[in-house]
């Protein structure tokens, strides 16, 4: 966060005050001599972001493929070293991926080998109570420290039936999701009984990130898009939107929510 002097106008009154703004940086991802992408992001938890982006966009298939990530905060470059020397296989795209959508990642899902499928039928046993959703969203809101100070970031969390496991914030809603996944894969590869929580709208590229890791359920304070609902129904994922207090909308696989 950075402090700026600004002018505040409230009706006929004008004052000069200090205001906190969230930071934004362009993080260039370099693999070998290639710039594979530039992520417009918040400057914290960047290793989590890079790892999550590589995995959720399909650039690498498993966490063990990533040997090392070296960050240079003076130049905002992340140097990526893959195990087995596979850097030449990464695309030399230089795409700038902004904060509004994961367009770069979405291109990777357009490849025939990245098409989404249904999650395993065993996921049908996964259930959570609406009271747990209420509790998770209350905790989620309390943790959103940077958002409370600036109003300029999105939040994401990974949770289970006991509560929130990992929480991250970023100016990009898909970046926040990548940070959560990028951190959790260091500790555990099992997402099948986990819940993804987000503050942003649920759009198709976020849903595809979720499906890649077989996350059965996503909860948001915001709305889904029509495409995300079509995909969720096709893949057997549960989408919960507008989760605020005792109110929520369930758009797909509603049997997972116990009232």
Site of tokens 């890649």: 212
**Dihedral angle sign, alpha carbons of residues 251, 117, 226, 42:** positive
Catalytic, out of 101, 152, 225, 242:
101
Among the listed residues 104, 94, 77, the one whose alpha carbon sits nearest the alpha carbon of residue 34? 94
Task: Classify burial at 256, counting beta carbons within 10 Å of its beta carbon; exposed 0-12, middle 13-18, buried 19 or more.
Answer: buried
Could you confirm whether 101 is annotated as catalytic? yes
Within 10 angstroms of residue 172's Cβ, the number of other Cβ atoms is 24
**Beta strands per DSSP E along the chain:** 2-10, 13-21, 25-31, 34-41, 66-72, 77-82, 95-97, 128-129, 154-160, 163-170, 195-198, 217-220, 238-244, 247-250, 257-258
Q: How far is CA 185 from CA 56, 66, 203, in A?
A: 11, 11, 23
- Indicate which residues carry an active-site annotation: 101
């Amino acid at each position: 966060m950075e402090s700026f002097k600004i002018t505040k106008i409230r009706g006929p009154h004008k004052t000069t005050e200090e205001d906190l703004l969230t930071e934004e940086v362009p993080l260039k991802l370099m693999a070998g001599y290639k710039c594979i992408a530039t992520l417009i992001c918040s400057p914290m938890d960047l290793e989590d972001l890079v790892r999550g982006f590589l995995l959720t966009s399909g650039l690498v298939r498993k966490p063990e493929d990533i040997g090392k990530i070296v960050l240079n905060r003076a130049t905002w470059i992340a140097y990526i070293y893959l195990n087995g020397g596979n850097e030449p296989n990464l695309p030399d795209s230089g795409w700038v991926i902004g904060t509004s959508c994961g367009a770069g990642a979405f291109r990777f899902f357009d490849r025939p080998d990245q098409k989404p499928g249904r999650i395993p039928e065993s996921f049908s046993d996964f259930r959570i109570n609406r009271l747990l959703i209420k509790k998770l969203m209350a905790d989620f809101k309390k943790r959103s420290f940077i958002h409370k100070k600036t109003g300029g970031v999105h939040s994401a969390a990974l949770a289970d039936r006991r509560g929130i496991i990992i929480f991250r914030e970023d100016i990009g809603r898909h970046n926040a999701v990548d940070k959560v996944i990028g951190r959790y894969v260091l500790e555990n590869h099992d997402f099948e009984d986990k819940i993804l929580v987000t503050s942003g709208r649920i759009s198709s590229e976020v849903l595809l990130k979720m499906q890649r890791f077989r996350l059965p359920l996503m909860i948001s304070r915001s709305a889904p898009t029509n495409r995300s609902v079509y995909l969720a129904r096709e893949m057997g994922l549960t989408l919960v939107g507008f989760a605020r207090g005792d109110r929520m909308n369930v758009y797909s696989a509603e049997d997972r929510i116990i009232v």
